[in-house]
Structure 1
């Protein structure tokens, strides 16, 4: 079956191809409502769908933004996508979402696939540590913005949007020390060198400098399910130090709660508990868990705004870094 073309639409509607093109591009300035209605009707009757390549030829834009995330199963990714879509959809942009699975190889394949689709721009949660690994995107004259993770040597001309992880950790660490906790156990799972957990760890370490408190990182990567339970039991064995556990991202909080339940440790009576998270579901657990809550939707909104600015004015001044403050959500867990 022959595909319907823009010429077919113009002929059936009794207008020029130029008029149909203006209609498709939303340029209604000199077009009567009757003409718009007629073209709308014909497009529906003929089941016409303009191809991406045809659209790019007309506008030099695909109206598609590529989004690459490290782990699509993380709630952070879905909230990030929601924020991006909220900004781009009213501007008639589509968003193609790809999962890198925190793999440099998978990420590179995904980005190349998006470049082949001639996307207008990219928003990337990096899985590699150095900006040099992403220079090829700019060499293809495609703008991009990074989110959540901090690349080494990223130039100011390329925007980035992140949570203020380091400062948020210092704030939470100071609260814990003030509450008398002497041993802080940080629950992490770092599978990439530039994970957002890294500056959080550094923030806690700097906070205890000059105090008698200690920081110990328990990295779950590569360990069996029962390892965390064993480690908590080990560090909390003699009870000589008032101990608090801090989960460095939301999914790890579930693992931490399961370990505490297995050990029959209650919080805050026997141990302190706090977490970074992307939403406040934990307010329903034991009167609420103390959180540092980041805002993936706002990160997405800011990143989408940045990429639009880069597309619309490639040589304009772009903000280099935007830090989105984490919100302290009070609970009763330490």
Structure 2
């Protein structure tokens, strides 16, 4: 039979109330009494009931991270950074995934609320904004990561996708490229739409023509990048450069070029949004990219939600956009 707090108080020779104060670190108790209580706890191998403690304190010391795709290395790196911070503050972490499905996101948010998590960090699909607003109205701290939805009154931490697209575009223009093929992601997602709009804006600012035939929708998938090469090189005048909006599609582009004998950068310049070190160390030639910052995003999101939990009277939300950097690698070539 498991020992109870009554057993602890009896062994320590104190009241149940005093034992409870010591174990829950509440109120002031004389040091000698604290010592007696903790000695009894260890002798009896007593473990407080976490559920009962959470009901009493209205907190569970549990945070949730709701990813879009649990197999996505970027998102898992982000989650690891959150976990590292939370471990330092003795918070438990629940990590789950929506599989990029709004219905699953809706159900998971409801489930996490019912489990009484203290806060939620979410890579949202952008299609359950009313549900997120409801949680915020119920005083559940929410931080949106990677996918900024500015219409939701939540804290946001994300890469500056618009600037990333501008940096890649400027780089290609400086190399003399004007016939540029673009491989978009899924424009029905938050980040896909932002990167699409960023390209439209950057191309317009630099006066680069962007016809429909110079755009391919690869859905953020490896096969999408692979198929984009066949599409562009079936044209009478293929592009001299390809801008890919994520590294998964870029890997498909590199493979297709290799199979078709298209030399990078001699025949085609290739640039991409985002780099994952473990992948690109294996890919030749190395690909020019603008950086993403999953570790920074994760750490910052964790710090923000901890501040929210420690000061629930904060009203202003914070929008943190990480500035990307351009890293020029072997895949960049100038027009001769």
Q: Deviations over 1:115-148 (max 9, x none)?
A: 1111111111111336324222124331211111
SS of the equivalent of 1:50 reads coil
Query: In structure 2, do the counterparts of structure 1 residues 7 and 242 end up closer, same or farther at CA, with 3 Å as the change threshold?
Result: same
Relative distance call for 1:20 and 1:298 in structure 2 (3 A) is: farther
> Relative to structure 2, which stretch is displaced further, 8-17 or 131-140?
8-17
How far does residue 81 in structure 1 lie from its aligned partner after superposition? 1.0
Q: Do structure 1's residue 259 and structure 2's residue 276 form an aligned pair?
A: no
Task: Find the partner of 2:181 among 169, 179, 185.
Answer: 185
1:45 and 1:265 mapped to 2: Cα distance? 72
Q: Provide the residue aligned with 2:189 in structure 1.
A: 194
Question: Does the Cα contact within 8 Å between 2:182 and 2:243 map onto a contact in 1?
Answer: yes
Distance apart, 1:55 and its partner CA:
1.8
**After the TM superposition, which residues 310-321 of structure 1 pair with which residues of structure 2 at under 5 Å, given as runs?**
310-321=308-319
- Counterpart-to-counterpart distance in 2, 1:126 and 1:98: 12
Cα distance in structure 2, aligned partners of 1:96 and 1:223: 27
* 1:167 matches 2:163: yes
Q: 1:328 to 1:32 in 2, by over 3 A?
A: farther
Task: Give yes or no for contact 1:150–1:194 (8 Å, CA) kept in 2.
Answer: no
Q: Give the TM-score taking structure 1 as reference length.
A: 0.85
2:220 & 2:316 partners in 1: Cα distance? 40
| Residues 23, 249 of structure 1: alpha-carbon distance in 2 compared, 3 angstrom cutoff | farther
Render the CA deviation track for 1:239-260: whole Å, top value 9, x for unaligned: 7455222332232232222222
The equivalences for 1:276-287 within 5 A come to 276-281=273-278, 282-286=280-284
Q: Under a length normalisation based on structure 2, what TM-score does the superposition of the two structures give?
A: 0.85
User: 1:130 touches 1:153 (CA, 8 Å); kept in 2?
Assistant: no
- Structure 2 regions of 5+ residues with no counterpart? none
Residues 165-194 of structure 1 deviation map (CA, whole Å, 9 limit, x = unaligned) = 00111111111111122233333441x733
Determine the C-alpha separation between the residues in 1 that align with 2:162 and 2:246.
14
Q: Which of 150, 153, 165 lines up with 2:151 in the alignment? A: 153
| Paired position in structure 1 for 2:9 | 10
Aligned-partner Cα distance in 2 for 1:88–1:31: 31
In structure 2, the residue matched to 1:204 is 199
Query: Contact 2:220–2:248 at 8 Å: present in 1 too?
Result: no
Stretch of structure 1 that moved more, 65-74 or 84-93? 84-93
- Paired residues of 2:21 and 2:29 also in contact (CA < 8 A): no
Counterpart CA distance in 1 for 2:110 and 2:281 is 42
In the alignment, structure 1 segments of 5+ residues that lack a partner are none
Does the Cα contact within 8 Å between 2:5 and 2:19 map onto a contact in 1?
yes
Aligned to 2:50: 52
Q: What corresponds to 2:215 in structure 1?
A: 217
SS at match of 1:214: coil
CA contact (8 A) 1:151 1:194 kept: no
Distance in 2 between residues matched to 1:138 and 1:159, nearest whole Å: 11
Task: Select the residue among 95, 107, 110 that pairs with 2:108.
Answer: 110
Find the aligned partners of 2:13 and 2:313 in 1 and give their Cα distance. 41
CA distance in 1, matches of 2:302, 2:287: 31
1:138 is aligned to 2:133: no
- Looking at structure 2, the residues matched to 194 and 222 of structure 1 have their Cα atoms a distance apart, in angstroms, of 10
Distance in 2 (CA, whole Å) between partners of 1:222 and 1:7 is: 58
- Check 1:195–1:252 CA distance in 2 against 1; reply closer, same or farther (3 A cut): farther
Q: Distance in 2 between matches of 1:186 and 1:30?
A: 67
Distance 1:49 1:219, change over 3 A: farther
